[in-house]
Amino acid sequence: MTFGDRFRVKPGHKIRLSDIDPAETVRHVDRDEARSKLADLTQKLAALQYRLYAECRRGLLVCLQAMDTGGKDGTIRHVFGTMNPQGCRVQAFKVPTPEEAAHDFLWRAHKACPARGEIVIFNRSHYEDVLVVRVHQLVPKTVWSRRYDTINAFEKLLADNDVHVLKFFLHISKEEQLERFGKRLEDPSRHWKISEGDYAERRHWDEYQSAYEDALSRCSTEHAPWFVIPADHKWFRNLAIARIVVDYLEELDMQLPAATVDIGEIKKKYHAALDGGH
């Protein structure tokens, strides 16, 4: 079993989030050691991104989903922050704009997907349309219940066109969420993150857990797997996601493209310029 297999949702397997400990650290108990390992992994990740960009044959889509305070922003900052912005971008999904709402629910996600050579991180994603839409009954069940198959077909389309898809659910406990809300209240620099809706959504905790369980169970496939990452400990969350992404990209065996010029001839000109002082 690989490290990622421990957290991967098996296709066709019905998952119960209550069976997964959000405080799990898989024997990683030393935070300082974890941070050291994360530094090594993020260096590898930057090097792998360089290869992906140079090779320009495939893209990578990373989807991050979580309950409020689950750590999406922190994951982006600590895991993907070393990447070159020229080949990496973040796309956040909030309440649909009038233009987005006028199209099918996947329209805004599809146009934000990575090109070949690019990594895109979705902060929330197209899964909002089987999560918040379901919990708040924004569309009938007959509508949102059909979307699982549509999402699977969409992600298969991406995979068939050389876009790899990795999806992470950052799994925190209700108690940890409340503690993080409290820390936001105590920190003036984070007050801008607070909204009335954050606390109102806690009333729907159980409904969200059920909605996530269905999304994870029905939409984890071989070509677009879901990973449930224990996220009560931020340092372990970052370490786990970084390792899974690095392992996945290394398996792709990406190759730098061959030179398009005669390097030997260019070297001769370079050395001649040095000798001639020009």
- List, for residues 228-248, the tens digit of each pLDDT value: 999 999 999 999 999 999 999
The reported pLDDT for the residue numbered 29 is 65
Rounded Cα–Cα distance for residues 267 and 278 (Å): 14
Mark out the alpha helices in the chain (DSSP H runs). 31-55, 72-79, 98-101, 107-110, 132-135, 141-144, 147-160, 174-186, 196-201, 205-218, 234-251, 263-276
Rounded Cα–Cα distance for residues 228 and 216 (Å): 9
Domain residues for the domain of 250 are 4-276
Please name which of 90, 152, 96 lies closest in space to residue 122, comparing C-alpha atoms: 90
CATH number at 156 reads 3.40.50.300
**To which H or E segment does residue 170 belong?**
strand 163-171
| The total number of structural domains that make up the chain | 1
CB burial of 52-74 (b: ≥16 within 10 Å; e: otherwise) equals bbeeeebbbbbbbbbbbbbbbee
Is pTM beyond 0.75? Reply is: yes
- List, for residues 171-202, the tens digit of each pLDDT value: 999 999 999 999 988 888 878 777 766 778 89
Which residues neighbour 164 within 8 Å (Cβ) at sequence distance 6 or greater?
Answer: 58, 59, 60, 61, 248, 252
Read off the pLDDT band of 96 (50, 70, 90): very high
Rounded Cα–Cα distance for residues 182 and 194 (Å): 10
Please name which of 92, 228, 107 lies closest in space to residue 167, comparing C-alpha atoms: 228
The reported pLDDT for the residue numbered 265 is 84
φ/ψ bin of 195: left (φ > 0), alpha (ψ from -120 to 50), beta (otherwise): beta
Rounded Cα–Cα distance for residues 56 and 116 (Å): 5
Contact 58, 255 (CB under 8 A): no
